[in-house]
């Protein structure tokens, strides 16, 4: 399944002023939005949104709608959450999730090019 182009456009809108520093990168069948070389959010190739969060707060976020820990290669990826399309159907909710991902990505050291 290819990523949802409409969701990608909505993510661009939600990035607001951070869009200028975001780099888009196709990966894992989706479209990731990188800040300082760190992935913040992605329109997933499996549907919905992937969000990078502080692993210390991820467990508390699992109760916010249809959210689960991302699983890659059969293993849970702590600090990575999968949010369903239905959960982010509302622009305000999408904005909150995008902001979480951007804020966490900005808190990380930039990756060297």
The structural domains of the chain, with segments of one domain joined by +, span 5-107
Sign of CA dihedral 33, 80, 5, 17: negative
The pLDDT-based confidence of 1 (bands split at 50, 70, 90) is low
- More confident call, 92 vs 64: 92
Closest C-alpha to 104, from 34, 28, 46: 34
First to last CA, the chain: 30
| Residue burial 49-74, b: 16+ Cβ < 10 Å; e: rest | bbbbbeeeebeebeeeeebebbeeee
pTM of the model: 0.92
Architecture of domain 5-107: 2-Layer Sandwich (3.30)
Q: Is the CB of residue 1 less than 8 Å from the CB of residue 46?
A: yes
Q: What are the tens digits of pLDDT across the range 30-85?
A: 999 999 999 999 999 999 999 999 999 988 998 877 899 988 888 888 899 999 99
């Amino acid at each position: 399944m290819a990523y949802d182009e409409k969701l990608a456009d909505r993510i661009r809108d939600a990035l607001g002023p951070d869009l200028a520093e975001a780099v888009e990168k196709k990966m894992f069948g989706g479209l990731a939005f990188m800040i300082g070389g760190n992935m913040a959010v992605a329109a997933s190739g499996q549907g919905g949104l992937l969000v990078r969060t502080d692993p210390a707060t991820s467990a508390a976020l699992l109760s916010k709608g249809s959210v689960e820990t991302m699983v890659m290669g059969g293993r849970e990826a702590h600090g990575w959450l999968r949010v369903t399309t239905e959960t982010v159907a509302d622009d305000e909710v999408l904005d909150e999730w995008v902001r979480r991902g951007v804020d966490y990505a900005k808190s990380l050291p930039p990756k060297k090019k």
